[in-house]
Structure 1
Amino acid sequence: MKEIITKLNFVDRVKAFLFGKVPTNSRMPATTSPLAENAFIASEMTVDKIHSILRSAENGDCSQLFDLYRDIIAADSHIQGEFQKRKIEVLMELVSAQPASKENPADVKNANIVQEMLDSIPDKIRVFSHLLDSCLYPVSLVEKVFKPSHKNGLKFEIKKLVPVPHRLLDFRNGKLSIFDTDETGRVLTTSTEVETNRYIVHRGHILSNPDNWGGPMRALLFWWLFSVMDIGWWSTFLERYGTPFLVGKYDRNDDKSRFVLQRAFAAVQRLGGLVITKETQVEVQNALSSQNGDAFEKFLAICQREKSKLILGQTLSADAQPTGLNSGNSELHNDVRHSIKYFDCQMLATTLRDCLVVPFMRFNDIEGAVPKIVVGSEDEDDLQGLSTVLQSLYASGIRLTDESIVILGQRLGLTLERNSTQMPAMFSAKNPTENKPKDGIDAVWQIAGNTVAKIEQEYGNSLSVIENILEQSKSPEEFEENIAKFCASWPPEKVTYLIQDALTSNIINGATPRK
C-alpha cells in the first residue's frame, strides 16, 4: 500500500489515505471517444481471416475478435434486431431490493437503503444494457465510481457507473485485465488487472469456456459470413442472369447475316435499339423466373433462423412460419423465450447483488444481511396459474405464512404485506364477533343480529336442523349430501334460501358447540 501511495500525486495520496480502496475517480476518462475506436474490419472478412482471428483470441489477443463482434452487430439487421429484443425484455423490468427477513427491522432498513441506491444510478438503462451485452459477448465490465455522501448513515454513494468498452479487455496474461489508454483514449501496450472493488463483472451465459474463446457470439460468426456471402452470390446471379437478353436467328450457311446480327447486338448499348431487315429474326429472352432465386432465399432463411435460435432460443418471433393447426409449437417457442428472459433476470440480479450491493454495504459499514435483488416478475400466464392455486388454497382453509408472503412477493416483483382486517371465516369455530369492525359499522351488525332472530322465528326448527348439519359435516360434500336427504321433498328454491339464511346466521352468531 505504501508503494502505491508514493507513486501518486498529493491529491490522490490524500484520497488513498481517507478512502482506502473505495474507487472515487474513474480510470477511463477518454475511452468513450469515437476517435479511439478501431476501423471497420467486417467488410474484409473471409473464412481464413476469421480462423486467424479466433486463433489470436485463443492466445489472449481478443482485440480483433471484439472489433469483429462490434461490426457484425452494427451491420447485421437480423442479429441487431434479435439482440435488442432479448435485452429490451429485461431492461423494461423493475429492479427491487427485498429484505432478507421481513421480521427483522435492520434487514428492512438495509433493503430501503439499497433500493434508494439502485434508483439513483445515473443512466441506469445504458449501464444495464452494457452488462447485458455479455449474453453474446464472453464478459461485460462496468466501472464503479463513488463519492462522499451527505445522506444520513452513509459514507459513500454512487457517483457514476462507466461501461468499459470491450476493445479494452486484455487476456494476454491469462487473467481478465484492462488495457491502459493515453489521454486521447488510444490503447497502450500495458494493462491493469481487474479489481472486484472497482468493477462490476457480468457473464450473462452459462458457457464454461474461457472468456478469450469468444463466448456465445463465436457460434454466430460463420452463419453471419454465410448470410453475407449468400446475399452477394444472389446479387451476382440476378445481375448476370436476371436481365433479358437478345437471341438472333440466321440460316446455317448464311455468314453474312450472322455478321450483321453481331454488329447490331454490339451497337445495342450505344443506339438503344436494333436496326435489322424484316427477314431477320430476333427474340428477347427473359431468364428470370420465380424458381431461379429459391436456393439463395432458402439458404439465407436457414442462416437467419440459426441466428435467432442462438439469441432468443426460438424462431417464431422473428419469422412467421406455418406450424399446423393446434400443433402447440407457438406456445412451446413462447415458453422457451420466457425461460431465457427469466434466466437473464436472475443472472443480472445476482451480479448486481455480488458486485454492487455487497461492496456498497461494505464501504458504508452497513451491518446485517444483504438484501435480495429481484429483477422483474413472472410471466402473466404463470401468475394466472398461481392465482388459481392461491384461490384453491384459500377455499380449502389453508392460510399463507409470513415467509410464504415474502416468497410470493419475490415472484410478483412486489412488496406484499398482510391486511390487518380479516374477513370472518364461514366455517370457523371461532366467534366472528371478535373480528367485528368498530365505530360506525356497529349499526350494520346490530341489524344483521336482529335479522337472524326473525329468520329463526320464521323457519322455526328447520333452521336449527340446518345449523346442526353444518356443524356435524366434515366436508362440503358431506354437507351437501345431508342437506339433500333432509330436504328431499322440498322445492329447490326454498332449499336454496334456507341454506343461505342458515349460513348467514352461522356467520353472525358464530359456530358455537351445542350440548
Structure 2
Amino acid sequence: MAEDFKGIVDRYGRPIAKAALKVEQAAPTGSGVRRHDALHPAAGLTPGRLASILRASIDGDPENYLALAEDMEERDPHYAGVLGVRKRQVSGLDITVEAAGDDAASLEHAELVREVIERDGFEDELFDILDAVGKGFSCTEVIWDTSEGQWRPKRLAWRDPRWFVFDRIDGETPLLRDGGQDVPLNPYQWIYHSAKVKSGLPIRGGIARAVAWTFLFKSFTIKDWAIFCEAYGQPLRLGKYDAGASDKDKQILLDAVSNIGVDYAAIVPAAMAVEFIKADISGSHGLYKERADWLDQQVSKVVLGQTATTDAIAGGHAVGKTHDGVRE
C-alpha cells in the first residue's frame, strides 16, 4: 500500500499518496496527446472556420481554439504587445509575505514561502501562470524536490493548455488528456488559474475569445493592404495573342506578363504582344491603415481597458497618464 501524507487530504477528504507527487503527471511525451506539435488554425482562417472552432471549444474540444489563441499572439504584434503588458504588469509586482501569527511555526512557514518566491525564475513562472489571461485558464504543475527528505517546490512547470479539457458536466473542472482518457489533476501537484474577462465557463472567459473576430478581420485588412501596396502604381500588363494560339503559347504569355512586374524583363514570341495600361487609382489609400488602427484600438480596450498608453491619439501625455491609471 502506498504511503500517504498524515493529516493531509485533498478537497474531497481523500488521503494523498506521496508516490504520486514524485512523478510528473503531465510530462511531455513523444507520442500521444501530450506532444508539442504545432497546430496553426490561423492559417487560411475564415469566418465559418472560426465559428466552428469557437463552438467546438464549448462542446468539449478546445484544442483548436487554444492553438488559435497561441497563433494570435505570434501573428498579431499589437495583440501580443498589449497582452504582454497586462501580464508583465502583474508578474513584476513586489510580493509581500506576512506570517499568519507570531508563533514559531507561522514564522517558519512564512519564511519557506519567501524562499520559494525569491528563487531565480519565479517571475517567469508567474508570467506563465498568467497565460490564463489570454486563454481563460492555465495549468501549472508543481515539481517537488524531495532529495533530502523535504517537500519543497523545485520549479513550476507550464503545461500546454491543449493537453487539458473540462468536465463535460460542469464545464469548469480541468481534466488532463491521457491516452484517450480524461483524468483528474493530482491534488497538491497543480496550480490552476482561471482568469476571466467575463462571467461564464473558463473556456469562454479568456481575452483571446473576445479578440478572435477582430484578429480575423484585421488579417483580411492586412492581406488586402499588402496586395494594394504591391500593385499600387503598377500599370496593368495586358498580353495579346492570335486567335490560333495554343494553350502552351497562352501559358507562356501569361507567365511573361505575370513576371514582368518583378523581373522588369520578359521574352515572348513575335506573334504575341504585351501592352501596358496606365494605372488610374482613386479613393482613399489610407482606408486600410485606418481600419487596422481602429481594430487595434478595440483590442487595446479589451486587454487594457484603455487605448492612450498604446495608441497615438489626440491629447498626448495628459490623456496617456489618465488612461494609465486604468491599467494600474
Q: TM-score, normalised by structure 1?
A: 0.49
- Equivalent residues in 2 for 1:87-126, closer than 5 Å: 87-101=87-101, 106-120=105-119, 123-126=121-124
CA contact (8 A) 2:143 2:153 kept: yes
Aligned CA distance change for structure 1 residues 235 and 242 (closer, same or farther; 3 Å) = farther
CA contact (8 A) 1:41 1:68 kept: yes
CA contact (8 A) 2:39 2:64 kept: no
CA contact (8 A) 1:65 1:214 kept: no
Q: Which has the larger radius of gyration?
A: 1
**Match in the other structure for 2:11:** none
**Match in the other structure for 2:311:** 319
SS at match of 1:145: strand
CA contact (8 A) 1:21 1:197 kept: no
**Match in the other structure for 2:286:** 294
CA contact (8 A) 1:137 1:217 kept: yes
Question: Share of identical aligned residues, percent?
Answer: 23
Q: In the alignment, is residue 55 of structure 1 matched against residue 55 of structure 2?
A: yes
Q: Report deviation, 1:71.
A: 1.1
Q: C-alpha offsets along residues 262-310 of structure 1, whole Å, 9 cap, x if unaligned? A: xxxx99959779xxxxxxxx99845357x63211111111111111111
Q: C-alpha offsets along residues 240-260 of structure 1, whole Å, 9 cap, x if unaligned? A: 45424599xxxxxxxxxxxxx
SS at match of 1:43: coil
CA contact (8 A) 2:69 2:134 kept: no
CA contact (8 A) 1:59 1:172 kept: no
Q: C-alpha offsets along residues 82-129 of structure 1, whole Å, 9 cap, x if unaligned? A: 12222222233333311234x555533332232123324x63233211
Aligned with 1:224 (options 209, 212, 215): 215
Aligned CA distance change for structure 1 residues 167 and 246 (closer, same or farther; 3 Å) = closer
- Equivalent residues in 2 for 1:326-365, closer than 5 Å: 328-338=318-328
Q: Report deviation, 1:63.
A: 0.8
SS at match of 1:95: coil
Aligned CA distance change for structure 1 residues 172 and 115 (closer, same or farther; 3 Å) = closer
Q: Report deviation, 1:195.
A: 3.7
**Match in the other structure for 2:160:** 165
SS at match of 2:96: strand
SS at match of 2:88: helix
* 2: CA distance, partners of 1:212 / 1:288: 46
Aligned CA distance change for structure 1 residues 31 and 305 (closer, same or farther; 3 Å) = farther
Q: C-alpha offsets along residues 205-228 of structure 1, whole Å, 9 cap, x if unaligned? A: 353211232522211001000000
CA contact (8 A) 1:149 1:157 kept: no
Aligned CA distance change for structure 1 residues 20 and 234 (closer, same or farther; 3 Å) = closer
Aligned CA distance change for structure 1 residues 298 and 201 (closer, same or farther; 3 Å) = same
SS at match of 2:17: coil
Q: Report deviation, 1:31.
A: 5.0
CA RMSD of aligned residues (A): 3.4
- Equivalent residues in 2 for 1:189-200, closer than 5 Å: 189-200=180-191
SS at match of 1:320: coil
Q: C-alpha offsets along residues 183-242 of structure 1, whole Å, 9 cap, x if unaligned? A: xxxxx3212112442211112335321123252221100100000000112223344454
**Match in the other structure for 1:127:** 125
1:29 alignment partner AA: A
**Match in the other structure for 1:307:** 299
Q: In the alignment, is residue 72 of structure 1 matched against residue 63 of structure 2?
A: no
- Equivalent residues in 2 for 1:253-264, closer than 5 Å: none
Please state which structure has a larger fraction of its residues in strand: 2
Instruction: Name structure 2 gaps, 5 residues minimum.
Output: 7-14, 239-253, 268-274
CA contact (8 A) 1:133 1:140 kept: yes
